[in-house]
Amino acid sequence: MRRRTAIGLGAAAPLFLSREVRGACPELRGTGDLLVVVERARGSVLIAESTGRTVLGRVEGLGDLSHASLVFSRDARFAFVFGRDGGLSKVDLLERRLVGRIVQAGNAIGGAISQDGRLVAVANYEPGGVRLFDSATLAPLAEVAAVGSDGKRSKVVGLVDTAEGGFAFTLYDSGEIWLLDPSDLSVPRITRFAGIGSLPYDANVTPDGRFYLAGLFGEDGIVLLDLWHAEAGPRRILDGYGRGEEPLPVYKMPHLEGWGAAGEHLLLPAVGRHEVLVVDKRSWQEVTRIPTPGQPVFVVVRPDGREAWVSLAHPHNGKVAILDLERLAPAGTLSPGRAILHLEFTPRGEQVWLSARDDDRVIVLDTRRRELLASLPADKPSGIFSTARAHRIGS
């Protein structure tokens, strides 16, 4: 019996020492509850936490963030921020400091991080193309010039990572989809699909990484590419979904990067229309349309899949539409602030964070009661990004 007791005490000793070590590091924390808020006019980001709903700090000197987006390292410690001025910035979320920054092009429109976390890819308007960087050092590794089948250099949009370790993107001006295989960085392999339609303005990949969808601005329709069988080429779905209807002026381009996926349905913002398209992702046929009180911009599904919250374009951007995804019908409208530019759920969906640009606030709501939990000061906030995105394909 004594021997068993001694062994038990011996096993407990390292535990005691472990607690002592932890107690000596009061600042040690994880990143799972962190969010990054872009302050577009200030050229900075706020680092906030959703457990206590507080702002931990601000990182400045990130350049023009008027159309900024970001991705996270695979350990969710670092954020890579893509600025409109072509800037690529690496931010340490725990130390809350700028690790490095380069200006890699004249005009950029977002980026992605590879499946293994080694490569950061940036989509450029000027000059049109994609550049690849080492995620550890920001050293340039490769460049792909987006010269379309028309022989001209095109703007690149809709850049996402794929489940096969590469990237997919579209050429806005020439109407093409390209797949980039970075296995050999000295000569990246490109697979091209031309003639997909007029002005593909944005794109995204389904959560399982299988289907890449590009929205068309020049015509009604969506282009679908099955990445498991890319050799079959892209095909059109929802062709002419607005045919016979009077087109409305487009006040803000919707974002397919902010579409919603719930069960067997995809929810897509209809360009220039006051409705969200519901698509069966088995047949790729339209199921129904859910009306919204304005033109939808971001359609964001709550993590439990029961609701989608939709931001709207001017002049209705002070409202957020809530959709019931069981009934596929409107479930309510909130007016949480002026100029709601973006929204992000916490990983389990109990909170939603909304950027109210014209109020200089980030609004935090309880999603079940739809009640205010916090109102945090922010300088012209726009995009809000949860570190949960670090573990999602295409995020």
Q: E-strand spans in 11-149?
A: 34-39, 44-49, 54-59, 69-72, 78-82, 87-92, 97-103, 107-113, 119-126, 129-134, 140-145
Torsion angle in degrees (nearest 10) through CA of 379, 384, 390, 393: -140
pLDDT of residue 250: 52
Nearest to 269 by CA among 278, 30, 94: 278
DSSP 191-221: EEE----S-EEEEEE-TTS-EEEEEESSSS-
Q: Which residues of the chain have pLDDT under 70?
A: 1-26, 241-258
Output the pLDDT for position 247.
56
CA dihedral 113, 131, 70, 176 (to 10 degrees): -90
Q: What does the pLDDT read at residue 243? A: 44
Secondary structure in 3-state letters for 272-308: CCCEEEEEECCCCEEEEEEECCCCEEEEEECCCCCEE
DSSP state letter for 15: H
Place of tokens 């850049």: 159
Predicted pLDDT at 242: 55
pTM above 0.85, yes or no: yes
